[in-house]
Amino acid sequence: MYTPKRANSPAVRSRGVGAGVALVLTLVLALPAAIGVSAQTNKLMDPSRFTETAPDVFRARFDTSKGTFVIEVHREWAPIGADRFYNLVKNGFYDGTRFFRVRPGFMAQFGLNGNPEIQSAWQRAFLRNDPVTQTNVRGFVTFTTEGRPQSRFTQIFVNYGDNTRLDADGFAPFGQVVTGMDVVDKLFSPPDSAQPDQRRILREGNEYLQKEFPQLDLVKKASIVPATSAAPARRRPS
């Protein structure tokens, strides 16, 4: 007849201690990562800390759910926008963000942080206007506005086609996709009848998008990479 071991038998106590030690070790190993995430979140809650001047030319690599594309930024094109973009990428603001507005032939838009608390902190961190020195044509990258001057903050878009009409409205390109434009072309575009609600993104963040729009593509990781072979700055057509 099978007789279960008593709960206080040496063998059971040994297994219990081993499991406890394993749990403690797991928690200890996970703690630095959790602290790092918390510290990064706290830092992103304060836009006033992001004032580093960008290099004259730099590249930002975006690893996405569709592949990788690289944006080359020339600070002289739009210095204020370039500095903001550099700081956001360098400090992980765009990691995990969704491409929530993709309109084939027009543009692909993203830049709302998945954490509503973080995004709320940036909603009034507006930038002054940059002069428009380039033009909104295919592959050029520009900050969105709130429909009025001096209202750029974190959202950006990649032009799919000739959107030069936007130049007169003050949309100042600061960079250009130099590799991976085919990746940008493949980003998922929701039907016009089922577009994400930006107000809900602001309130609920990625939780809303993951639930209601699971097919949206996302930025897995954005990082600054050396512009080792930067092309000469493209001038705006006269």
Assign residue 205 a region (left: φ > 0; alpha: ψ between -120 and 50; beta: otherwise).
left
Q: Are 190 and 158 in contact (CB under 8 A)?
A: no
> With a threshold of 0.75, does the pTM exceed it?
yes
Per the structure block, which two tokens stand in for 156?
A: 């950006």
Q: Please tell me the predicted confidence (pLDDT) of residue 177.
A: 98
Cα–Cα dist 60/223, whole Å: 6
Instruction: Note the pLDDT tens digit of each residue in 50-65.
Output: 999 999 999 999 999 9
**pLDDT above 70: residue 178:** yes
Q: Provide mean pLDDT across the span 63-70.
A: 98
Of 30 and 101, the one with more pLDDT: 101
CATH for 47-225 (2.40.100.10, 2.115.10.20, 2.40.10.10, 3.40.1190.20): 2.40.100.10
Can you name the residues that pair with 179 across neighbouring β-strands?
70
Query: What is the domain partition of the chain in residue ranges?
Result: 11-43, 47-225
Q: Please tell me the predicted confidence (pLDDT) of residue 23.
A: 55
